[in-house]
Amino acid sequence: MQALAVLQPLANLPDWGIGGSLLLVEQQLQTDFRDIDLVCTEAVAQMLDSAIQQVAAPVATTPHPRYCSRFFRRYHHSSGLIIELMAGIQVLLVQSSEKMQVWPFDPATVTRRHGLPWMALSDWLVLYQWFERPEKVALIHAAQGRHCALG
């Protein structure tokens, strides 16, 4: 997969993980991905930003009214792939009377596969619920149901 080759230069950097739709593809829950979502600790965000800029160009973004991460960058790789780096994820939840929810990334939950760090599906279940992506939530719930049935 081309996306994994793009990320290989970051493989040995600490405290980050691959999530989003690429995680769903890696877990065989869907067949394609929209972009590459990377999540890291705030402590390493600048270091990862610098490393990603060695392989992809930064792209200007417009602030989102509800997604208020303390660190967010988007990059465009020459292959056409879009990479997004997030740290200090915060989401304004309308269901909670406009309350800001902070999601703490824990690098201890990351698992190395294919030589790269992958986030837990359970983390993205929470994030997709906050991002109001019901189709992704349903995919993960279905996968968890299959796993429980097999266990």
**What proportion of the chain, given as a percentage, has pLDDT over 90?**
75
If you average pLDDT over residues 107-132, what whole number do you get? Answer: 95
Lowest mean pLDDT among 26-30, 72-76, 99-103, 131-135: 99-103
d(Cα 123, Cα 109) in Å, to the nearest integer? Answer: 9
- pTM over cut 0.75: yes
- 114 touches 26 (CB < 8 A): yes
Which residues are within 8 A (CB) of 106 and not within 5 positions of it... i.e. 6 or more apart?
Answer: none
By percentage, how much of the chain surpasses pLDDT 70? Answer: 93
d(CA 34, CA 74): 13
Contact 76, 57 (CB under 8 A): yes
Residue-wise pLDDT tens digits, 122-136: 999 999 998 989 999
What is the rounded average pLDDT of the residues 35-55? 97
Say how far apart CA 115 and CA 66 lie, in whole Å. Answer: 34
Q: Which H or E run includes 93?
A: strand 90-93
Rounded Cα–Cα distance for residues 78 and 59 (Å) = 12
